[in-house]
Structure 1
Amino acid sequence: MKKNLINVLLFLLVFAVFTGCKKDEYEMIKIVKMISVQQMRALPVGMTKATPAKKTGKIYIYNNYLFINEPNEGIHIYNNANPGAPVNMGFLQIPGNVDLAIHNNILYADNFIDLLAFDISNMNNIKQVKRVTDVFNQFYLPGAQKYLYTYKDTLVKKQTYKGVINDLAYSNNSSSGQGGSMARFTLMNDYLYAVGINNLSLFDVKTASNPTFLKAISLGWGVETIFPYENKLFIGTNSGMHIFSTTDPANPVKLSTYSHIFACDPVVVQGKYAYVTLRTGNMCRQATNQLEVVDIEDPTKPKQIAVYPMQNPHGLSTSGNNLFLCEGNYGIKSFNITDKTKIGDNMLQHLNNIKSFDVIAGPKSLIVTGEDGVYQFNYNNAANLKQLSIIKGQR
């Protein structure tokens, strides 16, 4: 065991050294921590006072509320009845949290290796109602199942950084909401589906406050996103898109895999077409930057019908005949997608002053996560997006 732990620590040291992001006079490094499962479950969980997010992650809308994940910290909750003036209601502290989904007033969130369920029927008195243990394995240290790893981003001056880990410690009124294209959690037919880096986990949520883990289905390495449409799940991986039938929602069946080059891969679906973005990135260095349109009328035989070059596409969302596509540091674009073979010729608008990550075309506004915070736009005219508000992060 001791030898395994030493090997793990060496791996984490390399992880910290090679995942830095340069920023002017500083660079971002990941300070890795190791904690025991017992220590993890003793960390505080629950509502605290409203505070701005230091970094924005996944977004989710449910009725008149907007939920903004702060990676590994928890969820900021906003009353978004008026998208022009969202009100910060509080922060749901959940260490190790990255994803969320909501069903019948129960919020599901990952807490490292566990799934937590919260009753949000009274937003002024949110309560944890269940913990499902040991259902997500991506945080487990190899060869050390009693320990987990986590990290925090830390800015250091370039000239002082020597690559040393110095903080290592052993210690729309519906029953469900709407997530973005980067989501790893989704709901369908009273079941919660969650993808990890190599599997699909399935939970029965017929009794929303009592989620029950059923099983995990192996998918192979590199799983990134999940998108529900009608009675199917579309799972994006860095080598392709899996299509699963949920005709029997308790037993998803793989229908096919649409393969592509190694790339980061969110996917959304509308009608008989899937829209897939491929981009270069930290884990996707062999990729190109493009939008692919895939005919899925026969889900057992998906076929590519068009490819369009992009700058660095991330999340995307559709609404009617329009597609909204995040271009990372290059802004956000809107397209008319009536003619699938001419999308590249039908760009409606390009806002290049927003560093965008993911987008939801919601019932009241277009919600965009950016480096500076979360933007909301009136998108009645996709060729003339009008900013309604911005929820600024705390930098």
Structure 2
Amino acid sequence: MKKLTFLLLITGLFVLPGCKDYVDEYVTYTVNEPVFMSASEFRSAVDMEGPKPIEKQGKIVFYDEYLYISQPEKGIHIIDNRNPSDPRNIAFIELLGNADMHVRDNMLYADSYVDLVWFDINDPAKPVLKGRKEEVFPEALPLTENGFGIDYDKFADRGNKVVVGWKTVERKELVRNYKPRWWSWGGVTEDAMYNFSAKADGGSVGVVGSMSRFAIYQDNLYTVMNNMLGIFDLSGETPVKTGEDIYVGFSVETIFSYKNCMFMGTPTGMIIYSLEDPLKPERQSMITHVFGCDPVVVENDIAYVTVRSGTFCGQDANELIVVDVSDVKKPQHIVTYNMKNPKGLGIDNGTLFVCDDGLRVFNAENPSAIMYKDNILAHFKDIDGFDVIPFNNVLMMIAEDGIYQYDYTDVKNIRRLSRLPIGK
């Protein structure tokens, strides 16, 4: 009787007249198609030039009294900052696809889309290109700012080319949508008919801002791109990639070196890796928060994390999160403070600087009392700050319209020293 019922069911499935399991329809959508440049043209487009106006804010590095400012995807501006009251724009490195950089022993290391490039900066006004490692960041892509998806199929077929931009195109495609059915798409089998409940078993180093994706510890450069951690040995004349990239996941956005650990900011939390063996980082822990953009800095075993909302950052949370990381295996949340829309941050000897509603400065000696009235040291409004570097009583802040510098020798009387314009 069981076999007879099965045969009748099978017969019925194939004799139903005009029964279609799908619907065909046209859909229209917008997508970013890659714009390619030949690898040879891309890699020859490096030039050392005189000073150029800074057109857009980017990442920042401070080294030996000079500031290095990335202009996203265009190159690196070099600023003589020996007198913070009168900084001077002295040189520009044209470097397509640059976003991040770091400095060690008078060598500037920078990304150029898929490549790592390095320059001798013994004379910062006359940087010298020293070398390039090709295809070490194979998934690096230009920024998209329109919210549309990316045509990854065309990107995957790039061959000996580099993606240097995007063009927005509208497409119309025929899509087949299958109707749901109660049988398995793997085929109608006797087991499937009768066993619905079956289950399967199963040296001298620069200071970077908090938004950096480059960090240096001992002789190694650590880079985070998307979900991967790369390590380069800098002990010789030429950087050497130490092995395969390490999958860390969670779309890591920033990396901060503290003691023998790396603190990584992700859209969903802070990850801590131990560098007890610098070439074999080991994950220690992760502390999660609501979805949002996330840089982190650490001082005296206290981590400060900002979370902000925004087009590409997730939810509506805008917070400063304070975490005790004295035990990196078991970080402990201390307190969360509401913010307006915080971005980069920095801390120096208990003074905390946050790019939020301008620039806000706090006494953070007692992390649980940062927002007490007496601990709010200053608030400079009407500035769209992006990131900061506090160093030797001078705060360097990059904002949408300029590089601002402040003297915080007296934290109760912080004063502005200068502003170097950005943009038109």
Query: Could you say which TM-score interval applies, normalised by the shorter chain?
Result: 0.7 to 0.9
Q: Distance in 2 between matches of 1:294 and 1:287?
A: 21
Correspondence for 2:311: 282
CA contact (8 A) 1:195 1:224 kept: yes
| Contact 1:34–1:148 (8 Å) recurs in 2 | yes
Secondary structure at the residue paired with 2:31? helix
Q: 1:35 aligns with which of 30, 37, 42?
A: 37
Q: Normalized against structure 2, the TM-score is what?
A: 0.78
AA matched with 2:31: V
| One-letter code aligned to 2:163 | Y
Contact 1:334 1:383 in 2 (8 A): no
Is 2:240 the counterpart of 1:212? Answer: yes
Deviation at 1:145, TM superposition (A): 4.2
Q: What's the offset of the Cα at 1:271? A: 1.2
1:26 maps to none
2:73 corresponds to: 72
Structure-1-length-normalised TM-score:
0.84
Question: CA–CA distance in 2 between the matches of 1:139 and 1:339?
Answer: 40
CA distance in structure 1 between the partners assigned to 2:241 and 2:53 by the alignment: 33
Select which of 144, 159, 171 maps to 2:157: 144
SS in 2 for 1:226: strand
Aligned partner of 2:196 in structure 1 is none
Deviation per CA, 1:49-84, whole angstroms, max 9, x where unpaired? Answer: 111110020111001111111000111001111001
Q: Does 1:344 align with 2:345?
A: no
Match of 2:408 in 1: 379
CA distance in 2, matches of 1:57, 1:290: 22
Unaligned runs of 5+ in 1: 1-9, 17-31, 154-162, 166-173
Aligned equivalents of 1:34 and 1:132: distance in 2?
20
Shift of 1:148: 3.4
Amino acid at match of 2:326: E
For the residues of structure 2 that align with 1:60 and 1:280, how far apart are their CA atoms?
25
> What is the aligned partner in structure 2 of residue 176 from structure 1?
205
Distance in 2 of aligned mates of 1:393 and 1:93: 17
* Separation (CA, whole Å) in 2 of partners of 1:151 and 1:37: 14
| Structure 1 residue aligned with 2:114 | 113
* Structure 1 residue runs of 4 or more that deviate by more than 4 Å after TM superposition: none
Q: Deviations over 1:88-121 (max 9, x none)?
A: 1110111000011011111100011000011111
Task: Give 1:1-395 correspondences, 5 Å limit.
Answer: 13-15=30-32, 33-42=35-44, 44-139=45-140, 141=152, 142-146=155-159, 147-151=161-165, 175-207=204-236, 209-214=237-242, 215-327=244-356, 330-345=357-372, 346-363=375-392, 365-395=394-424
The Cα offsets for residues 165-219 of structure 1, whole Å up to 9 and x where unpaired, read as: 9xxxxxxxx6111000000111110100011011111000012x31111231111
* Residue identity opposite 2:101 in structure 1: L
TM-superposed CA distance for 1:152, in Å, is 8.1
Following TM superposition, by how much is the alpha carbon of 1:221 offset from its aligned partner in structure 2, in angstroms? 3.8
For the aligned residue pairs, the C-alpha RMSD in angstroms reads 2.0
The CA distance in 1 between the partners of 2:48 and 2:391, in whole Å, is: 26
Q: What residue number does 2:187 align with? A: none
**For the residues of structure 1 that align with 2:156 and 2:365, how far apart are their CA atoms?**
52
Matched residues, percent identical? 38
Pairs aligned (count): 349
Give the conservation status (yes or no) of the 8 Å contact 1:223–1:237: yes
Partners of 1:177 and 1:225 in 2: CA distance: 16
Deviation at residue 364 of structure 1 after TM alignment? 5.1
Could you tell me whether the CA contact under 8 Å between 1:292 and 1:308 is conserved in 2? yes
In the alignment, residue 343 of structure 1 is paired with which amino acid?
A: I
- What SS class does the counterpart of residue 341 from structure 1 fall into? helix
Kindly state the Cα deviation for residue 46 of structure 1 after the two structures are TM-superposed. Answer: 2.6
CA contact (8 A) 2:78 2:125 kept: no
What is the alpha-carbon distance in structure 2 between the residues aligned to residue 250 and residue 258 of structure 1? Answer: 24
2: CA distance, partners of 1:297 / 1:124? 42
1:72 aligned counterpart, secondary structure: coil
Supply the distance in 2 between the matched residues of 1:150 and 1:282 (Cα, whole angstroms).
23
CA distance in 2, matches of 1:377, 1:137: 39
Kindly indicate whether the alpha-carbon contact (under 8 Å) linking 1:261 and 1:287 is maintained by their aligned counterparts in 2: no
| Structure 2: gaps spanning 5 or more residues | 1-27, 142-151, 171-202
* Offset of residue 324 of structure 1: 0.3
Residue pair 2:36, 2:158 contacting (<8 A) in 1 also: no
